[in-house]
Amino acid sequence: MQPDQTAHRQTEDARQLAASYDKLATKAGEYLDDDQLGQLYHAFEFGRDAHDGQYRKSGHPYFTHPIAVAEILAELKLDVQTLITALLHDTLEDCPVTTEDISSRFGDKIAELVNGVTKLSQIEIQSFDNKQAENFRKFMLAISRDVRVLIVKLADRTHNMRTIGAMAAEKQEKIAQETMDIFAPLADRMGIYVFQHELEDLSFNVLQPQVRSSIINSLENIANLGDQKGSDEQNMLDDIASELEALVQEQGLDCTVEGRLKTPYSIYLKMNRKAMSFEQLFDVNAFRIILPERADCYQALGIIHQKYPTIIGRFKDYISAPKKNGYQSIHTSVLGPYNQKIEIQIRTDAMHERAEKGVAAHWAYKVVKHRDESQKEDHIPPLIAEGEGQDSTRWIRELTSLLGQSTGSVEFMDAAKLELYRDQIFCFSPKGELYNLPNGATALDFAYSVHSDLGDYCDYVLINGKHRQLSTVLENGDQVKVVTSDKVTVKIEWEDFVKTARAKSHIRRMSRNLQQQQFIYLGKSLLSEEFRYRGQPFDEDQLKLSLLTFNLSSLDQLYMLVGEGKTLTKKLVLDHIHPSTETKKGKSEDKPIPKPVFVFDSEHEGASVQLAKCCHPLPGDKIIGIFNSGLGITVHTNSCATAYKFDEMPELWVEVAWPRTSRHRHSGRIKVLLLNEPGSLAKMCTVISQHSGNISFIQLEERKLNYFTFILDIEVADIDHLNNIISVLRSDKFIESAERYSF
């Protein structure tokens, strides 16, 4: 580039940056004082100089991006520390700037915030998944210390998504998918819906532009409808909002009513979830009634329900039972004006502010409050130190507490995703204590949410006073009583049906402990047999003397390593203790001990051998046994997913076979999709009985308008007997499908 061209570009860059900063200063000047605006301008100069010569894919000076991020936050009236963090959030990663540089100029707190937002580009990890997971782990730890890290990151991602069009298509899809997987759910969990909805819509536009365009066209058709009299001056939304507002105000309540169409992405999710077309949806119209006081909300609810017919099953009270992110509102659906099915949300002004801005609204409130009291910004108390705002961040603290139990960053990220993607239900303990759980949580999830020991020692549960399985999915309002055993009852297959990260983490930890105990038992057995082969008495004192040689601290550690057989073998240990000995059959070799063929006999069930509850093996199935220390042998089908978890531990596999003759009957589990017709359930039971099957357990798994899904345990002679019953069921007109079931 020629010198005059370079000078022209520098002049143009300076003009763009100055114009961008003027917009930011105008927004921030609405609530920051002169001293704070001076700090902001100092940060602008520092960031501008640090990013000098850097450009975005669009060709604009790179620093226009941090300024735009700060402007987004200024619209939410965030404090000056947060705005400065936004201006500097890329300096550590992209510029020759250190944390010490930022700390010396702007203070330790801002340096900590900037470092929290910065990606770990210095970490050299070959796997992209691991690198992304490690970045996310660090990011979550930073959020747990100061939630403003998340607010800045969400604003950063929002502006990146607004300007994503300059990138290659493949890169756009990758970033949009990450936004949909991580950042939009994070905004949801923190209650910052202004970010959540925009991030979802921008990502949706990249990932499925044609679907989004089709939904928008349908929404525009609704919005442009006139009232039933054909007026073109007001659309239907305005008419309905006006009627609702007048109705409530006639009863002496001061209120405002807002009408809106739901976002394209939320409509898309509902269409998929309910398998409906756009035309079949009835609640694309949503209205908010905003009132001064909490008591007014319930009075307005009564007014609405007296005037309009309610739609059954469409009422939720998030005021008395707020969401985990602090969201409060009453939701109801009615057949409203113009015979339109509409959703109505009723909330106070404060609830509305919180609903739109989440924890950002709380922080902005603190700033304004302290400015009015003429206090310095540096003395603003931490966002989540006390009271309001803690519910939104409690899940982060719970999540980061799992780091000590996780095996690595990828497992932590999996746990985080579990927590991000769930709505909640409310269940009660026998004492009336309320517990929030993710939608789809099981009785075992409830046990672990109360206390980890309650889950580890859980024997069975009573749901609303009735004995139920640990895998039973809970519903809103269920009362759950957990009955414990006097010993640990954790089973590795529990991980397959629990939903919460807390439960999965504890089950994995207990499973690892159980595996260690199994390796210890196996290692001790192998060494004992090796001593015998060499004609020597088993001597733990001699083994203790060898610990130092192998750099070990305990006999259990020695036994475990020998049991694993990866880094230490029985031969290596005995060669050290008795280097000149030979076995009775010659020199010792580390050949595996032949595993006996165990012929399963029903007399052993409950003692040394038990049938797995995950796959319900039957005579005729190909089976394998898994050795569990203290539990004996658990028999699985060869295709059981739980058995595959032991693929890397072949030493625990035991060959088993069914007896040639047996009169003992076993339970096979099936899943039946039954038509919702009079007599269909009776017909299903009759068919099973007529073919010599005995139903020992039945559970309604899912109920829909036209179908019921049942899980049944049927006592049969063998697999052929069960298959015969399944075939007959499939031929019945009341039964849509029948299949063997395992979890």
Indicate if the pLDDT at residue 44 is higher than 90: yes
- Residues 327, 185: Cα–Cα separation, whole Å: 15
Please give the share of the chain, as a percent, with pLDDT higher than 70. Answer: 76
Q: Which long-range contacts (CB under 8 A, 24 or more apart) does 683-691 make?
A: 683/732, 683/734, 684/710, 684/729, 684/732, 684/734, 684/735, 687/725, 687/728, 687/729, 687/732, 688/712, 688/714, 688/725, 688/729, 691/721, 691/724, 691/725, 691/728
- 225's CB contacts (< 8 A; 6+ apart) are 235, 236
530-538 average pLDDT score = 82
pLDDT at 142: 58
* Residue type (1 letter), 682: A
pLDDT of 94: 85
- Per-residue confidence (pLDDT) for residue 295, from 0 to 100: 92
Most confident of 210-214, 309-313, 410-414, 472-476: 210-214
Mean pLDDT, residues 126-155 taken together: 65
Residue 362: DSSP 8-state: H
pLDDT band at 424 (very low <50, low <70, confident <90, very high): low
* Closest by CA position to 117, among listed 81, 148, 83: 148
* Size of the chain, expressed as the number of residues it contains: 743
pLDDT at 416: 58
**pLDDT score of 138:** 58
CA 211 to CA 203: how far, in whole Å?
Answer: 12
pLDDT-derived band at 140, boundaries 50, 70, 90: low
pLDDT tens string 676-691: 888 888 889 888 988 8
Q: Which of 510, 554, 558, 523 is nearest to 649 (CA)?
A: 523
Q: Which tokens is 368 given?
A: 């304004």
Q: Is the dihedral of CA 536, 537, 538, 544 positive or negative?
A: negative
Q: What value, to the nearest 5°, has the Cα angle with vertex 635 and ends 633 and 637?
A: 155
Range with lowest mean pLDDT among 296-305, 403-412, 538-547: 403-412
pLDDT confidence of residue 244? 93
- Written as six digits, the tokens of 550 are 């192998």
Asked if residues 657 and 633 have their Cβ atoms less than 8 Å apart, the reply is no
pLDDT digits (tens, 9 = 90+) for 546-571: 888 888 888 888 888 887 776 777 78
User: What's the token pair of residue 13?
Assistant: 């860059």
DSSP 529-560: HHHHHTT----HHHHHHTTTTTT-S-HHHHHH
Residue 544 pLDDT > 90, yes or no? no
Q: Which of 47-56, 143-152, 309-318 has the lowest mean pLDDT?
A: 143-152
Average pLDDT over residues 215-225: 68
Grade residue 398 by pLDDT with cuts at 50, 70 and 90. low
Using only C-alpha atoms, the chain has a radius of gyration, in whole angstroms, of 32
Let me know: does 260 contact 223? Beta carbons within 8 Å. no
SS3 388: coil
Give the pLDDT of residue 397.
Answer: 58
Distance, in Å, from the CA atom of 90 to the CA atom of 138, rounded to the nearest integer, reads: 16
Candidate ranges 139-153, 371-385, 390-404, 544-558; pick with highest mean pLDDT: 544-558
> Residue with structure tokens 């058995």?
643
Whether the per-residue pLDDT at 587 is higher than 50: the answer is no
pLDDT at 630 over 80: no
Is the confidence at residue 359, as pLDDT, over 80? no
Distance CA 197, CA 615 (A): 42
Choice among 405-409, 664-668, 705-709 with the minimum mean pLDDT: 405-409
Q: What is the pLDDT of residue 455?
A: 87
Residue 210 contacts by C-beta under 8 Å, 6 or more apart in sequence? none
Q: Is the predicted pLDDT of residue 473 greater than 70, yes or no?
A: yes
C-alpha pair distances (Å), 624 with each of 617, 618, 634: 10, 12, 8
Q: Which of 118-122, 528-532, 589-593, 707-711 has the highest mean pLDDT?
A: 707-711
Per mean pLDDT, which of 41-50, 517-526, 716-725 is the most reliable? 41-50
3-state SS, one letter per residue, for 173-208: HHHHHHHHHHHHHHHHHCCCHHHHHHHHHHHHHHHC
Q: Specify the pLDDT at position 377.
A: 38
Q: Considering only residues 451 and 601, tell me which one the structure prediction assigns the higher pLDDT.
A: 451
pLDDT at 395: 56
Cα(191)–Cα(356) distance, integer angstroms: 7
pLDDT of residue 10: 82
pLDDT at 382 (0 to 100):
36
- Per-residue pLDDT at 123 exceeds 80: no
Residue in this structure with the two tokens 């979830």, named with its chain if needed: 273
pLDDT confidence of residue 232: 36
Over residues 303-319, mean pLDDT: 87
**What local confidence, expressed as pLDDT, does residue 706 receive?**
77
Neighbour count for residue 570 (Cβ, 10 Å): 21
Predicted confidence (pLDDT) per residue in 65-116, tens digit: 999 999 999 998 899 999 999 999 999 888 999 999 999 999 999 998 898 8
Query: Which residues fall within 8 angstroms of residue 206, CB to CB, at 6 or more apart?
Result: 161, 164, 172, 173, 175, 176
pTM of the predicted protein model:
0.53
Measured CA distances, 552 to 150, 526, 547 (Å): 44, 18, 5
Q: DSSP for 121-149, please give it.
A: TT---S-HHHHHHHHHHHHHHHHHH-THH
- Residue 672's pLDDT is 92
* 494's tokens: 């529990």
Per-residue H/E/C for 283-331: CCEEEEEEECCHHHHHHHHHHHHHHCCECCCCCEECCCCCCCCCCCCEE
Q: What pLDDT score does 608 carry?
A: 58
Cβ-based burial of 597 (10 A; exposed 0-12, middle 13-18, buried ≥19): exposed
